Amino acid sequence: METLPTGISVLDREFGGGLPSGSVVVLKADPASQSELIVERFSRPRTCRYLTTVRAADAVEPTLSLGDDADRETTVAETDREDPIEDVLAAASDLPDRGTLVIDSIEPLEAVDGARYGSFLTDLRQRVADADGVALIHAFKTNTGENRRLTEQVADVIFDLRTTVTSAEIVNRLIVPKFRGGAALEEPLKLKLTDSVSIDTSRDIA
């Protein structure tokens, strides 16, 4: 099992180089948070198939930095708004070796009936494993239904981004409560999310 970098150096250090190949990762976050910065960093290290289920592709593409890696291909595609499942599975089948699949966001897929959604998750996981790649599912915390529980159950890794806003500061903490094939974090990581992702070394204000 190969370890694949996440594109976020602080996480790669914590995880001993990255995530196990074949992993399905869920990033849970509030819709008003800066979680899109984490999603964008995940798209960087390898060839990426980026599927947007809500936003238009031309709204997503300018936010994805290609850097200096001319060998890496990133494609952004909109899914069918009424039935996105087949589009996602087709992209997963087309995932190159050690590629990254991004689903941004999962809520329209979670809206289908439970039996179909469970079958979709099984197929998705197998196709990502066949490619020795990584899938990142962007999941907003506004959805708490039964299909969200299926999403988290099938996931190999769960990133839980918690954003606290006070009159004095905005604090972002990343909790990793689940990590198959590796070690979950014993304590939250305090992140600085501005135009990049880094460790926040400032002291908490009581």
Percentages helix, strand, coil for the chain (3-state, rounded to 5) are: 30, 30, 40
Angstrom distance (rounded) from CA 15 to CA 187: 13
- Which pLDDT does position 183 carry in this prediction? 82
Mean pLDDT, to the nearest integer, of 124-129? 98
Return phi, psi of residue 151, to 5°.
-55, -50
Q: CA torsion angle for 98, 102, 108, 109 (degrees, to 10)? A: 10
Report, as an integer, the average pLDDT of 17-24.
96
How does strand 170-179 pair with strand 157-165?
antiparallel
Tens digit of pLDDT for each residue in 143-200? Answer: 989 999 999 999 999 999 999 999 889 999 999 999 998 888 889 999 999 988 998 8
Give pLDDT tens digits for 80-120. Answer: 999 999 999 999 999 999 999 999 999 999 999 999 999 99
User: 9: cis peptide before it, omega within 30°?
Assistant: no
Provide the strand spans (E) within 40-185.
48-52, 74-78, 100-104, 134-140, 157-165, 170-179
Domains of the chain: 3-57+72-186 (3.40.50.300)
d(C-alpha 159, C-alpha 202), whole Å: 22
* CA-based nearest residue to 172, from 15, 19, 37, 9: 37
pLDDT at 20: 96
Model pLDDT for residues 51-64, shown as the tens digit of each residue? 999 999 999 998 88
Q: φ and ψ at 3, to 5 degrees? A: -100, 125
Percent of the chain with pLDDT over 70: 94
Q: Distance of CA 122 to CAs 89, 128, 183, 205, Å?
A: 11, 10, 23, 44
Is it the case that residue 67 has pLDDT exceeding 70?
A: no
> What per-residue confidence (pLDDT) applies to 205?
55
Of 202 and 70, the one with more pLDDT: 202
Question: In this predicted structure, what is the pLDDT of residue 51?
Answer: 98
Q: So what's the pLDDT on residue 70?
A: 45
